[in-house]
Amino acid sequence: MNRLTKHWIIYLISLEFILCITVFSLPSFSFYSQPKNQQIVTEIRGVWLTNVASGVLFVPWGIDRAINQLSALHFNTIYPVVWNRGNTFYKSNVAKNIIGEEAEPVLNFMHGGQDVLTKIIKLAKPKGITVIPWFEYGFMTPPNSQLAKLYPSWLTIGQEGVNSVKELLPEDVNNGAVSKQAWLNPLHPEVQEFILGMILEVVSNYNIDGIQLDDHFGMPVQFGYDRFTVQLYKQEHQGKNPPNDPFNSEWMRWRADKITAFMGRIYRSIKEIEPNAKLSLSPNAQAFAYKYYLQDWETWVKNGWVDELVLQVYRHNQNSFRTELQQSAVKLAQTKIPVVIGISTGTLRNPVRISQIKEQIDMVRDRSFSGISFFYWESLWGYIAPETPHKRRKVFQELFNTKAIRPLPVDETGSRLRL
């Protein structure tokens, strides 16, 4: 049995396991009876739909069920994945030209060649659900992906030539999912054209409300020692090589500024095509994002290049969670744009109790944030959660017992704009 065959067998077994969980997690719709004639509040209520450890995008009824359930419980925003593991989750001519596949192969097969993003939009829009496609993997790609194999010069590396994120990262930062990835070079013009091409393709071809980039839209601080980046640095520094210390402040700032410039280009390009399309950003805390991934999102917000901030605050310790909400960069963003707090509802390995989720929602609301988004769909009220699906849905029904609309943008004086 060759390596490729083994890979597919493992993939299909894993997918079958996830599909089983999904099937047994399906509730009856009799539970979703909400009182009529309710008041409407202003609050973003979102959830990420991913293909990682989730069958929602793969089973024929998964998307329909998810959107119906979310709508019944008064969610108003979804962030469906469209870029993950070197594949697109929509029909992409850009991807087809670069890697030879217009969409993720298994997804394409399971939906009979139909465009999944089109299906999501058609189901969600009539229910008043905002659709913001999520470029989940950013610059990450598996080292064995077609993208990495066909374009090795697009990858950035550490000083020893290791294109693994493990190098030099402290243990608490080096999570398993990220450490197994290769990294596209955000400074490389061909990489920029590829990423920008996919983003603009989605903005141009689909009736969406915006796009979202996240914490993977950056460069691990230990990277940047590939040939292209070294030569670019030398051109701008009188022939000097980059410092050996990846945490050198000037070296960090130089790389971060290059990424910032690309972010500005993305924002302007989106607005040229569709002025009302939002650029949503879902980063980690500013200090962490800059130190370890050269992602200076506070500057992006100051420059007006972010329309919505969905800050990932995946903390089990409630004091730590509370502290992240009080950071200066977060408070600054609140004066300029809607700021949503991303809350973890758990994973297969690290389930989260509904009591913790409720307490964190209360903390977010007490501090007048614009809303909440949950990572991720499968753990909201599926069987990977500690409590029964019925119990978790009941709590969400109590927390979201009225309909909610998304907030309007904020102008420079801190007032809500009238559209």
| Contact yes or no for 298/286 (Cβ under 8 A) | yes
What would the mean pLDDT of 66-91 be, rounded to a whole number? 97
How confident is the model at residue 28, as a pLDDT? 39
Max CA separation in the chain (angstroms): 70
Q: Does some domain include residue 146?
A: no
Is pLDDT of 171 > 50?
no
Tokens of 78: 């979804």
Domain interval for residue 304: 39-140+188-405
| Contact yes or no for 310/47 (Cβ under 8 A) | no
Task: Tell me if residue 30 falls in helix, strand or coil.
Answer: helix
Please list the alpha-helical segments (H only) found in 219-372: 227-236, 249-273, 286-293, 297-302, 318-325, 328-334, 354-366
Number of domains the chain is built from: 1
How confident is the model at residue 147, as a pLDDT? 98
Instruction: Give dist(CA 414, CA 419) in Å, integer.
Output: 15
Per residue in 222-267, pLDDT (tens digit) is 999 999 999 999 999 999 999 999 999 999 999 999 999 999 999 9
How confident is the model at residue 55, as a pLDDT? 83
What percent of the chain stands above pLDDT 90? 76
Amino acid in position 101: E
How confident is the model at residue 36, as a pLDDT? 59
How confident is the model at residue 405, as a pLDDT? 97
What would the mean pLDDT of 201-227 be, rounded to a whole number? 97
Q: Does some domain include residue 62?
A: yes
What would the mean pLDDT of 389-395 be, rounded to a whole number? 95
Q: Does some domain include residue 302?
A: yes
What percent of the chain stands above pLDDT 70? 84
Cα-Cα-Cα-Cα dihedral of 136, 137, 139, 142, to 10°? Answer: -170
| Contact yes or no for 282/345 (Cβ under 8 A) | no
Q: Does some domain include residue 376?
A: yes
Q: Does some domain include residue 230?
A: yes
Number of H helices, E strands in the chain: 16, 14
Is pLDDT of 71 > 70?
yes
Q: Does some domain include residue 418?
A: no
Q: Does some domain include residue 219?
A: yes
CATH code assigned at 118: 3.20.20.80
Q: Does some domain include residue 25?
A: no
How confident is the model at residue 95, as a pLDDT? 98
Low-confidence winner among 157-161, 163-167, 330-334, 381-385 (lowest mean pLDDT): 163-167
Instruction: Give dist(CA 136, CA 139) in Å, integer.
Output: 9
Mean pLDDT for all residues in the chain: 89
Which position has the higher pLDDT, 381 or 14? 381
| Contact yes or no for 15/378 (Cβ under 8 A) | no
| Contact yes or no for 47/374 (Cβ under 8 A) | yes
Instruction: Give dist(CA 356, CA 371) in Å, integer.
Output: 17
Low-confidence winner among 128-137, 358-367, 382-391 (lowest mean pLDDT): 382-391
Tokens of 202: 């989605």
